[in-house]
Amino acid sequence: MTTFMPPLALRTQTPVAWAEAALADPEALLSDHAHCEKKAALTALNLARHLGDMAHASGLLAKLADEELDHYRRVLEGLQGFGWTLLPDRGNHYAQALHRLASKGLLDQLLIAAIIEARSCERLWLLEQAAQVHPTLGCAPWLAFLLELEHCEAGHAQIYRRLAEERHGREVAQQRLDWWLDREAETIRDQPWKSAVH
């Protein structure tokens, strides 16, 4: 197994056994992930509305949203390729729990986005490791896609963090990120394991 380098210093590691639980129902896992990618695109566009005075932010977030939409389309194609259908959105309780803890401010929204991307990246990495020996998902094109997603989501975490620092100052953003990393560790530990990235 290769080593995982998280884009942010997450404060709790997901146990390796989580990936096997998540892969118990690959159709549900991929369906959930398709919904997550669509929401990630919407998040980027929504945050761009609040950073309209930062020209480079608009460009970065437009590209980010474009990448999330591409992921969404490709996860849908993946579902179709396996002969599965997109199941209804069951909601993302992890993201909802984080947003319940947030103020309405932009800093929290940017940092939550950064942390969700970082956690997704960690879990995609675990899935990629487990999928290599999975009877259905262990085919090369799908594994290559998971690896690509990991790299992309790591870049997204860095973009959101950088935008938080540029808008709110490095020290303020770092202090709040420290607080969020603790809250995220508590939140993710409370989540039941299911066929979803989180």
Q: Which is nearer to Fe ion, 157 or 177 (CB)?
A: 157
Residue 97 tokens read as: 């729990």
Q: Does 32 bind Fe ion (CB under 5 A)?
A: no
Q: Which of residues 37-56 bind Fe ion (CB under 5 A)?
A: 37, 40
Residue 108 tokens read as: 């929290």
CA-CA distance, 108 to 79, in Å (whole number)?
33
Residues near Fe ion (CB under 5 A), total: 7
Q: Which of 33, 38, 71, 176 binds Fe ion (CB under 5 A)?
A: 71
Residues with Cβ within 8 Å of 180's Cβ and at least 6 positions away in sequence, in order, are: 98, 108, 111, 112, 115
CA-CA distance, 93 to 115, in Å (whole number)?
15
Q: Does 108 bind Fe ion (CB under 5 A)?
A: no
Q: Does 156 bind Fe ion (CB under 5 A)?
A: yes
Contact assessment for residue 33 and residue 74, using Cβ atoms and an 8 Å cutoff: no
Q: Which is nearer to Fe ion, 15 or 177 (CB)?
A: 177
Q: Does 150 bind Fe ion (CB under 5 A)?
A: no
Q: Does 122 bind Fe ion (CB under 5 A)?
A: no
Q: Which is nearer to Fe ion, 108 or 153 (CB)?
A: 153
CA-CA distance, 25 to 29, in Å (whole number)?
6
CA-CA distance, 169 to 101, in Å (whole number)?
22
Q: Which of 38, 153, 177, 188 binds Fe ion (CB under 5 A)?
A: 153
Q: Which positions touch Fe ion (CB under 5 A)? A: 37, 40, 68, 71, 117, 153, 156
